[in-house]
């Protein structure tokens, strides 16, 4: 998958790059990115263990600001974890949404509760 994306980026014309920049600029300057209160709902944040775009540390930081959120990484996966490890991602999400255990799954690293860890850290 990474090779496919790499090839797509390398073959973009200057016009395609200009359009992509214009599109992304519109997205990030749109008012929908204004911070909103974080709802207290069950939340699972996960990423691929080798994701360099949305790194595991970024996932932990996101989970840390969400009350009671859980965080894990899927083993042997990069940024497109839901594509690269489709069955495992579906199983993980399905388990989480149906209150089945997600600890100890062979395709995930240990499940963390980053908020609890950050709250326990000395100030």
Cα–Cα distance measured from residue 72 to residue 80, given in angstroms and rounded to the nearest whole number: 15
- Residues of the domain holding 25: 2-33
Instruction: Say what the pTM is.
Output: 0.69
Torsion of CA 24, 26, 28, 30, to 10 degrees: -160
Say if residue 17 is in the same domain as residue 75. Answer: no
The pLDDT score that the predictor gives to residue 56 is 96
The answer to whether residue 17 sits within a structural domain is: yes
Return averaged pLDDT per consecutive 10 residues of the chain, 123 residues in all: 65 87 82 76 96 94 92 96 96 98 97 72 43
pLDDT digits (tens, 9 = 90+) for 71-90: 999 999 999 999 999 999 99
Say if residue 106 is in the same domain as residue 67. Answer: yes
The pLDDT score that the predictor gives to residue 117 is 55
């Amino acid at each position: 998958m990474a090779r496919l994306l790499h090839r797509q980026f390398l073959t973009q014309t200057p016009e395609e790059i200009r359009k992509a920049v214009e599109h992304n600029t519109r997205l990030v300057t749109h008012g929908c990115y204004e911070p909103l209160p974080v709802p207290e709902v069950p939340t699972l944040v996960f990423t691929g263990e080798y994701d360099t775009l949305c790194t595991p540390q970024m996932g932990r930081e996101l989970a840390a600001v969400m009350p009671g959120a859980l965080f894990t990484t899927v083993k042997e996966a990069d940024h497109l974890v839901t594509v690269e490890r489709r069955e495992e991602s579906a199983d993980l999400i399905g388990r989480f949404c149906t209150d089945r255990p997600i600890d100890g799954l062979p395709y995930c690293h240990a499940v963390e509760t980053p908020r609890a860890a950050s709250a326990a850290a000395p100030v």
